[in-house]
């Protein structure tokens, strides 16, 4: 099945009465307890708590004390297919997404082979229509083989369903190359997603440069290794009037550059990951490879700048950069380990626990930032609204869990939050009208 | 102490305990028969993933003088060269039930990883640019022999700090023992943020005369993938330590191997104020003391009884 650029296996349209949950949707203004009736996969009615009678055909979920949010959207995941299915595939990745409350995700093209021509993209769409539990969209590569030297057939890739383009995992090093992609974007539409890194400042580096890298003797790359390229590319976006989305921003200087160019009218947006919002390079002192990712965890001042960016709107959305790796691949010395951490199952809970519970950001802002990735890629933003397909996440904010204690839904276990206790358990995910995840029994146990 | 992975595994008292024991082993080294039976019947594995002369040979001698059975593995000649992972290699070696694994690796944290995969005591013999704790211990030992105490001693560490695991362990050990540490070298070879370890940084050697001890680091060409200094000639002009830059009372140290004519001039190496030979000598007794501390000392995982006739040698 497909809905506006997203592909999934589909399933039986849900008939559900979710009764008494606290409904929270920053876009419709809902912020009170209520009943939501889902009929044939659509939101059919919204009423006061206990007001909606249970139809005979519908399952009733007693959700008093739980929160019902619009389903989350993650514009940045790596599902490793084709080529590295031992890390993740569309079935396991979308199951992990559903377990995290996500109802739409966007997969990156740095697979093997790279998604740089239409046949590869079409085969992925077909696979998603067989295997994906929640709708998946795809970005295609900007340059062939991510090599940075030749544009992909962007127009054909767009026709084949690419939501946009990215060489994620690598920067587009040449400003001239990126300029051509921006010019060509006028023909193709779609957003250019950019992984920003100046290799002349980051080559051989495995973490943030600072006191921790000095202590560990690890090669570190400074924040300006990211921010100088953000500033360069935003200037290009403005010059060519193109649309550009900065992926996984990690540095205070990058947030400043993004704010500056937004202020000048450039069509630029940015995302931050839960790990960059909640952890710093201090974590790397353990030399645990679960803290190795690119861009790296940076200083506390960078983390604070990302949080400030979320609050003032400079950072448009939260994206996980879910990057699974097999156990044995991470069981090597830090310098040898591949970059990347999983994130779909912990995204909501990590930010809720670390930023919402202590009062640093409001819950409604978290829900907004976990859903606003959709519009950045021209997808429909999930809303709790009558007549729309049901994209819903039912979350128990009062329940806590230990990350990894019961394993993971993802095929990989490389979570940087392993062992942490988080509040917020996703009890039910309804994605595009079908039940994609349910953990209601544990709710009863916990209650 | 279960493992020696970092100087952070030892407080000042722990360092003194190990070095006092090393001093008692130094007496054994003066005897005609240099062996003691402390580790008889126990196996020590030396696993070296990087070239090494003095560290590997001194660990071998240390193990032999403690009567341990010794297996020395060099990565280039082992299954490692056939692509075996570190974890699998450790699993294989663990089948021999080693009491200790001494590991040198080009990667930070390798020794710590190994410690998580084996019941043996693990000694870090150098992990990437991270740490080289036994080198720092033998450096402190050498200075203690000469000065008695490091309290208030001003130590300048000069040269390529960026690529130096010795510098990192030395900064930690010297400051823990009460010394004041200053780093000096080309700004491209001084890591940003290193002051957080409790040292100060001087970009030039102008104030070098204030130092009591000048500890010169090796220019590590082998670790440099790009040019950090315009030329070794310019480096030598600005930072080479020779007798022209040293006061006669200043002590000179170097972890070896020396690039003669680069970081040190020939006259300085051969001068009486150089402790380089004493450092090498200290290597064996300090590594004996580390192995003893881990395998037979008070905090050892599997404490072995001190064999008869050995008590005097280990009385500290």
Decide if B114 touches A, using CB distance below 8 A: no
Q: Can you give the residue ranges of every domain in chain A?
A: 2-68+387-446, 72-376
Beta bridge partners of B254: none
Answer yes or no: is the ipTM higher than 0.85: yes
| Portion of chain B with pLDDT greater than 70, in percent | 90
Residue A236: half-sphere exposure toward Cβ, Cα within 13 Å:
23
Q: Which of B108, B194, B225 faces A333 most closely, judged by CB atoms?
A: B108
CA distance B199 to A229: 34
**pLDDT, averaged across chain B:** 91
Q: Are strands A72-77 and A102-107 parallel, antiparallel or unpaired?
A: parallel
pLDDT tens, A292-319? Answer: 999 999 999 999 999 999 999 999 999 9
pLDDT tens, A245-288? Answer: 999 999 999 999 999 999 999 999 999 999 999 999 999 999 99
| A29: Cβ contacts below 8 Å, ≥ 6 apart | none
The answer to whether B129 contacts A218, with C-beta atoms less than 8 Å apart, is yes
CA distance A171 to B199: 37
The model's pTM is 0.93
Asked if residues A258 and A249 have their Cβ atoms less than 8 Å apart, the reply is yes
CATH architecture of A2-68+387-446: Roll (2.30)
CA distance A371 to A73: 5
Reduced to 3 states, what is the DSSP secondary structure of residue B72? Answer: strand
Question: Which residues of A are catalytic, by number?
Answer: 321
pLDDT tens, A57-112? Answer: 889 999 999 999 999 999 999 999 999 999 999 999 999 999 999 999 999 999 99
The pLDDT assigned to B28 comes to 81
Decide if B3 touches A, using CB distance below 8 A: no
CA distance B260 to A107: 56
- How close does chain B come to A148, measured CA to CA in Å? 23
Asked if residues B173 and B121 have their Cβ atoms less than 8 Å apart, the reply is no
Q: What are the chain B neighbours of A331 within 8 Å (beta carbons)? A: 85, 87, 113
- Domains of chain B and any CATH numbers: 7-131+283-314 (3.40.50.1370), 133-278 (3.40.50.1370)
| B73: Cβ contacts below 8 Å, ≥ 6 apart | B45, B46, B47, B48, B80, B93
Reduced to 3 states, what is the DSSP secondary structure of residue A218? Answer: coil
Report the sign of the C-alpha dihedral through residues A284, A288, A291, A295, in that order.
Answer: positive
Residue A308: CB atoms within 10 A of its CB come to 14
- What would the CATH number be for the domain defined by A72-376? 3.20.20.140
Decide if B128 touches A, using CB distance below 8 A: yes
Cα-based distances in Å from A378 to A43, A83, A106, A243, B126 = 22, 28, 12, 12, 53
Q: Do domains A2-68+387-446 and A72-376 have the same CATH topology?
A: no
Beta bridge partners of A267: A243
Query: Which element (helix H / strand E) includes A143?
Result: none
Decide if B256 touches A, using CB distance below 8 A: no
Mutation to test the A interface, candidates B107, B118, B127, B170, most A Cβ within 10 Å:
B107
Q: What are the chain A neighbours of B191 within 8 Å (beta carbons)? A: 209, 213-214, 217, 220
The answer to whether A334 contacts B109, with C-beta atoms less than 8 Å apart, is yes
The answer to whether A334 contacts B107, with C-beta atoms less than 8 Å apart, is yes
Q: What are the chain B neighbours of A328 within 8 Å (beta carbons)? A: 85, 87
Mutation to test the B interface, candidates A199, A204, A214, most B Cβ within 10 Å:
A214
Asked if residues B98 and B105 have their Cβ atoms less than 8 Å apart, the reply is no
- B-contacting residues of A 286-325, CB under 8 Å? 287
The pLDDT assigned to B81 comes to 65
Report the sign of the C-alpha dihedral through residues B97, B101, B105, B109, in that order.
Answer: positive
With a cut of 70, say whether residue B311 has pLDDT above it. no
């Amino acid at each position: 099945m497909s809905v506006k650029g997203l592909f999934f296996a589909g399933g039986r349209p849900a008939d559900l009465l979710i009764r008494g949950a606290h409904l929270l949707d920053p876009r419709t203004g809902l912020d009170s307890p209520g009943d939501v009736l889902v009929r044939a996969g659509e939101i059919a009615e919204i009423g006061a708590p206990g007001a909606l009678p249970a139809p005979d055909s519908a399952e009733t979920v007693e959700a008093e004390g739980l929160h019902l949010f619009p389903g989350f959207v993650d514009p940045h995941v790596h599902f490793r297919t084709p080529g590295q299915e031992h890390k993740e595939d569309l079935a396991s990745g979308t199951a992990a997404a559903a377990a995290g409350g996500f109802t739409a995700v966007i997969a990156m093209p740095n697979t093997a082979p790279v998604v740089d021509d239409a046949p590869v993209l079409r085969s992925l769409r077909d696979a998603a229509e067989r295997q994906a539990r929640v709708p998946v969209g795809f970005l295609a590569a900007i340059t062939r083989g991510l090599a940075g030297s030749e544009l992909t057939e962007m127009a054909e890739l767009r026709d084949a369903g690419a939501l946009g383009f990215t060489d994620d995992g690598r920067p587009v090093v040449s400003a001239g190359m990126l300029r051509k992609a921006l010019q060509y974007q006028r023909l193709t539409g779609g957003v250019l997603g950019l992984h920003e890194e100046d290799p002349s400042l980051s080559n051989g580096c495995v973490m943030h440069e600072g006191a921790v890298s000095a202590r560990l003797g690890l090669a570190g790359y400074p924040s300006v290794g990211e921010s100088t390229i953000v500033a360069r590319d935003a200037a290009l976006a403005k010059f060519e009037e193109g649309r550009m989305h900065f992926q996984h921003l990690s540095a205070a200087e990058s947030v400043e550059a993004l704010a500056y160019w937004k202020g000048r009218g450039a069509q630029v947006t940015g995302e931050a990951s839960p790990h960059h919002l909640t952890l710093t390079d201090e974590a790397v002192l353990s030399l645990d490879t679960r803290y190795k990712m690119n861009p790296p965890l940076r200083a506390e001042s960078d983390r604070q700048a990302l949080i400030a960016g979320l609050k003032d709107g400079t950072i448009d959305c939260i994206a996980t950069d879910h990057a699974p790796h097999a156990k044995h691949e991470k069981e090597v010395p830090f310098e040898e380990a591949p970059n990347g951490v999983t994130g779909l199952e912990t995204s909501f809970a990590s930010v809720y626990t670390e930023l919402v519970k202590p009062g640093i950001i409001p819950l409604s802002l978290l829900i907004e930032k976990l859903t606003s990735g959709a519009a950045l890629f021209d997808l429909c933003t999930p809303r709790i609204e009558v007549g729309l397909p049901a994209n819903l996440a039912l979350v128990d904010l009062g329940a806590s869990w230990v990350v990894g204690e019961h394993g993971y839904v993802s095929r990989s276990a490389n979570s940087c939050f392993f062992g942490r206790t988080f509040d917020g358990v996703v009890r039910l995910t309804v994605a595009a009208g079908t039940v994609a995840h349910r953990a209601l029994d544990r709710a009863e146990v916990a209650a | 102490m279960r493992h020696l992975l970092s100087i952070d595994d030892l407080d000042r008292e722990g360092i003194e305990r190990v070095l006092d024991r090393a001093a008692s082993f130094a007496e054994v080294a003066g005897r005609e028969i240099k062996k003691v039976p402390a580790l008889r019947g126990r196996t020590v594995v030396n696993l070296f993933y990087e070239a090494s002369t003095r560290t590997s040979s001194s660990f071998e001698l240390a193990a032999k003088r403690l009567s341990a059975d010794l297996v020395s593995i060099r990565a280039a000649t082992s299954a490692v060269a056939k692509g075996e992972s570190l974890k699998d290699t450790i699993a294989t070696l663990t089948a021999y039930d080693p009491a200790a694994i001494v590991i040198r690796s080009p990667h930070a944290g390798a020794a710590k990883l190994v410690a998580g995969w084996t019941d043996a005591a693990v000694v870090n013999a150098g992990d990437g640019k991270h740490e080289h704790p036994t080198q720092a211990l033998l450096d402190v030992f050498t200075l203690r022999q000469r000065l008695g105490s490091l309290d208030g001693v001003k130590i300048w560490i000069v040269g390529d700090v960026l690529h130096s695991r010795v510098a990192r362990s030395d900064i930690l050990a010297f400051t823990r023992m009460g010394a004041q540490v200053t780093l000096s070298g080309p700004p491209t070879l001084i890591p940003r943020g290193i002051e957080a370890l409790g040292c100060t940084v001087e970009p030039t050697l102008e104030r070098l005369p204030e130092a009591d001890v000048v500890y010169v680091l090796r220019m590590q060409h082998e670790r440099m993938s790009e040019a950090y200094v315009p030329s070794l000639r310019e480096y030598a002009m600005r930072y080479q330590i020779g007798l022209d830059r040293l006061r006669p009372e200043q002590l000179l140290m170097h972890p070896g191997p020396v690039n003669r004519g680069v970081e040190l001039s020939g006259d300085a190496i051969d001068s009486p104020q150089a402790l380089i030979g004493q450092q090498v000598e200290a290597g064996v007794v300090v590594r004996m003391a580390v192995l003893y501390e881990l395998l037979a000392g008070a905090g050892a995982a599997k404490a072995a009884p001190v064999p008869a006739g050995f008590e005097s040698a280990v009385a500290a």
